[in-house]
Amino acid sequence: MIAYKLLFVDPDMNALDAYRRLLKAMRPKWSASYAANGREAIQMMRKSKPDVLITELNMRIENDADLLKAVQKFYPEVIRIVLSSEPDTQAETILSATQSAHRFLAKPCKGENLLAHVEQAAELRKIIYSQELREIIGGMPYLPSLPQLYHELIHAMEAPLVSVADLGDIIARDVSMTTRVLHLVNSAFFGLPRQVSNPREAAVMLGMNVLKSLILYVKLFFAAPDSRLPGFSLDDLWEHSSLTARLSREIAKDLAGNSRIQEDAFLSGMLHDVGKLLLLEHPKYINSVIRRQSQDSDLSFADAEYQEFSVSHAEVGGYLLGLWGLPDPVVEAVACHHRPSQISGEPSPVLAATYLANALLCRQSGAELKLDENLLNQDEIKRMLATWDRQAAKLYEEHKNS
């Protein structure tokens, strides 16, 4: 078992003592530090950077700055978990912390649950070895929305008879907004017994007041700026994501009748390229990939990424969604959508559906893609492949003519 380095910050001495006892009893090999306030915490971090920070809300450092925001800025690769007794999930402090914390847990939290969250988030780091990439993902979770959908949402919010489900329907059409609302409702703060994959349902759970505060005050969503990198279009990415979501759900329906799996397959199809959205803000990364591609015209974007960085936007997206607590089958499908064989054992129906939907649609747009042989050897996939290929062609044609 890996020994992680943790830093707990809590003004309540009894809480710190309880964390000490918990670690000693259950993870004696982990090292942990304990701080009673933000200033102490930041001093400790300057000496030794933890893997995971577990903090109460509203901890202040020098100049009254917020600890979470400072850590996000200066130590972006540190995983940030809020463990708070703040009883009101509508409170402004919680809502604004959604911009800087990866996970939210409510006190009282069972010791084993707390450690499981810490472990699960820290384990994700195995996906991404590069410190630079971890910093990109951990430090700047700004995901741009499609401008027309963002404006549609703002406009809809002002309409007198709009329901929260109507807003949810708009959110469900945008990759970034979907990711954000699912991040929130899947945080343990909302105390849900299961993970939520449906953004409309997530919007309804948050409720109109919280949703409005998030949009208007926290500014959780924002429209993508005009200037984009040459060769990349947010519109194309959005179209591709929504087609992949639809095909992925159809494939999942054939592979496993279960509606939960279909919902997860739709979501992972929608979010599979979320890593690209994040990396688009980093021209240095994108330019290195494009340079690599220009040296070998047969290389796909993802293959060029693997050659250059040993990971791709797939793992980057999976890492972000995992940190944000999205459902595990979705995280796995997003992380492995270019290399399904990198997981041991047979791929889940969600991963198989996402992988095939993306690959078949990419082929429709002219990409030369060799399908994964392990998957093709599965009887059900062999039998249905031609049908799914026809569905991909139909969806692609419909979209081109729309």
Contact positions toward Fe ion, by CB under 5 A?
A: 273, 358
132/111 Cα distance (integer angstroms): 32
> What's the gap between Cα 348 and its chain centre?
19
Judged by beta carbon, residue 50 or residue 318, the one nearer Fe ion is 318
The answer to whether 302 and 313 have CB atoms below 8 angstroms apart is yes
Q: How far apart are the two ends of the chain, measured CA to CA in Å?
A: 53
State the helix-helix crossing angle for 313-323 and 111-123, rounded to 10 degrees.
170
21/115 Cα distance (integer angstroms): 13
CB burial readout 312-331, b (16+ within 10 A) else e = bbbbbbbbbbbbbbbbebbb
272/355 Cα distance (integer angstroms): 9
Cα-only R_g, the chain: 21
Under DSSP, is residue 84 helix (H, G, I), strand (E, B) or coil?
strand
Least distance to Fe ion from the beta carbon of 305, Å?
9
Least distance to Fe ion from the beta carbon of 69, Å?
31
Amino acid at 69: K
Judged by beta carbon, residue 80 or residue 240, the one nearer Fe ion is 240
Least distance to Fe ion from the beta carbon of 232, Å?
13
Judged by beta carbon, residue 84 or residue 268, the one nearer Fe ion is 268
385/306 Cα distance (integer angstroms): 27
Least distance to Fe ion from the beta carbon of 280, Å?
13
Taking residue 251's Cβ as centre, other Cβ atoms within 10 Å add up to 29
Least distance to Fe ion from the beta carbon of 241, Å?
7
Amino acid at 351: L
Judged by beta carbon, residue 56 or residue 273, the one nearer Fe ion is 273
Taking residue 239's Cβ as centre, other Cβ atoms within 10 Å add up to 17
Least distance to Fe ion from the beta carbon of 240, Å?
6
239/289 Cα distance (integer angstroms): 22
Least distance to Fe ion from the beta carbon of 334, Å?
9
Judged by beta carbon, residue 187 or residue 358, the one nearer Fe ion is 358
Residue 145's DSSP bridge partners are 223
Least distance to Fe ion from the beta carbon of 345, Å?
22
Least distance to Fe ion from the beta carbon of 393, Å?
17
Judged by beta carbon, residue 53 or residue 234, the one nearer Fe ion is 234
Contact partners, residue 71, CB within 8 Å, separation at least 6: 42, 45, 53, 78, 80, 100
Judged by beta carbon, residue 215 or residue 277, the one nearer Fe ion is 277
Judged by beta carbon, residue 153 or residue 274, the one nearer Fe ion is 274
Judged by beta carbon, residue 206 or residue 243, the one nearer Fe ion is 243
